[in-house]
Amino acid sequence: MWFTWNGVGTEEEAQDIPAESAYSGILFDETLRDGLQAPHIHNPSLEQKLAIVDHMSRSGVRSADLGFPGSGAAAVEECTELARHIAAGGLALTPGFAGRTHPSDIHAIGEVGQRAGVAVEAYVFIGVSPIRQYVEDWDIELIRSAIRTSAAECRRENVEFVLVLEDAVRCTPQVLGSVYDVAVETGTRRLTLCDTVGAAVPTGTEALIRWTRRYFADRGHAVELEWHGHNDRGLALVNSLTALALGCARVHGTVLGVGERAGNASLDQLMINSHLDGHHTYDLTALREYCEYAAPVLGVDIPQNYPAMGRDVFKTSAGVHASAILKAHEKGSVALKDSVYAGVPAALLGREQEVLIDAASGANNVKYWLTLHGHTTDDATLIKKVLERAKASRTPLGDEEIGQIIATAG
């Protein structure tokens, strides 16, 4: 049985997270790196990647992993073009690049920064859990040595060093402590905790983050924590929200949750929750446009019921819902109409509430449609005819079909 932080309790009280730190972290867009690591995901062209970077910026994303320069000369060239695009456009987006603890990977990241003439960040990753050590035939001293080398190489290349600990949620306190000691020794100031296989539950996420925070605090070493979560158990979003609440400086995600296996934490859902809870401000209409652009480019469909972005998430056919939405509409408040039967205001995404007429509908569904289309709502016979047609149909009535009923009713 391999270790997991899911069964570790926490003794710390809420005050160990300063009020100004909770929810202060920003989001880190991994779409163009981690998000592409799945067999069903298309690798966009450079032109499409540049457009994705623009969508990131317009949505309010302020940091992103833009690729893996260490994979070869073509990757260095592409990553350089992405970094140049950010600089040329004056985008408020900090470019990061992934690399292994190999000096050649870090050199490639440094080359991108030098060629583009911008400051870049090196997200240098290494697996630390006992299961990874066993499979790879590594030992803790090899890991510690690799971290020392990476920190020195980043200083030599003049790039920001971010230590990324793969599979940290299945790493024992003893091993983590040994790794953290090297982080202190090398002056490492940024560290990413990874739920690489999506094994964490929120209590495990909390236990690991609190323990890590306390470990560094006890040694007087200031470090910014980041969280990188996968969705294998369907918990990436809640774990990432937990990490934000606990003051992680950056929390990683991908647009529409794309990525290997079950995917990564959904960046768009993180942005929507953060915006609605008042922690950060994002342009949710631009975010919708980002999702709608990225889906076909990446070769994925947006499910009809996908939160906030799905085709059907602002539609209802239930009579009681239609009644409340109609009443809210009559009060003249878009915000009220967007809230009475919705947790996400449609208007923030450039959408609106839609009341359908189908077999489950009642008179208020028809009245709402008539109101929106400038018709009177006091013709009971007309309403009855529309409902009769709806109840005989296997799908909701379309506008044209309803119009035909109205045209022939007289």
Residues 52 and 293 sit within 8 Å (Cβ to Cβ): yes
Reply yes or no on whether the pLDDT at 148 is more than 70.
yes
Mean pLDDT of 211-228: 97
Q: Which two tokens stand for residue 54?
A: 């623009």
Q: How far apart are CA 225 and CA 237, in angstroms?
A: 17
pLDDT tens, 61-110? 999 999 999 999 999 999 999 999 999 999 999 999 999 999 999 999 99
Q: Which two tokens stand for residue 5?
A: 């932080």
Q: Which two tokens stand for residue 104?
A: 């050649």
- In this prediction, residue 408 has a pLDDT band, given cuts at 50, 70 and 90, of confident
Closest residue by Cα to residue 8 from 130, 236, 169, 229:
169
Reply yes or no on whether the pLDDT at 18 is more than 90.
no
Q: Which domains does the chain have, with CATH numbers?
A: 5-9+21-298 (3.20.20.70), 315-409 (no CATH)
Separation of CA 373 from chain center? 38
Give me the pLDDT at residue 311, please.
96
Give me the pLDDT at residue 19, please.
65
Classify residue 248 as left (phi > 0), alpha (psi -120 to 50) or beta. Answer: beta
Give me the pLDDT at residue 199, please.
96
3-state SS string for the chain: CCCCHHHCCCCCCHHHCCCCCCCCCEEEECCCCHHHCCCCCCCCCHHHHHHHHHHHHHHCCCEEECCCHHHCHHHHHHHHHHHHHHHHCCCCCEEEEEEECCHHHHHHHHHHHHHHCCCCEEEEEEECCHHHHHHHCCCHHHHHHHHHHHHHHHHHHCCEEEEEEECHHHCCHHHHHHHHHHHHHCCCCEEEEEECCCCCCHHHHHHHHHHHHHHHHHCCCCCEEEEEEECCCCCHHHHHHHHHHCCCCEEEEEHHHCCCCCCECEHHHHHHHHHHCCCCCCCHHHHHHHHHHHHHHHCCCCCCCCCCCCCCCCEECCHHHHHHHHHHHHCCCHHHHHHCCCCCCHHHHCCCCEECCCCCCCHHHHHHHHHHCCCCCCCHHHHHHHHHHHHCCCCCCCHHHHHHHHHHHC
Reply yes or no on whether the pLDDT at 4 is more than 80.
no
Give percent of the chain above pLDDT 90: 80
- Length of the chain in residues, anyone? 410
Q: What is the pTM of this model?
A: 0.92
Give me the pLDDT at residue 70, please.
97
Mean pLDDT of 157-181: 97
- In this prediction, residue 317 has a pLDDT band, given cuts at 50, 70 and 90, of confident
Reply yes or no on whether the pLDDT at 36 is more than 70.
yes
Q: Which two tokens stand for residue 231?
A: 């969705």
Quote the mean pLDDT of the chain.
94
Q: How far apart are CA 263 and CA 298, in angstroms?
A: 13
Give me the pLDDT at residue 12, please.
53
Residues 106 and 81 sit within 8 Å (Cβ to Cβ): no
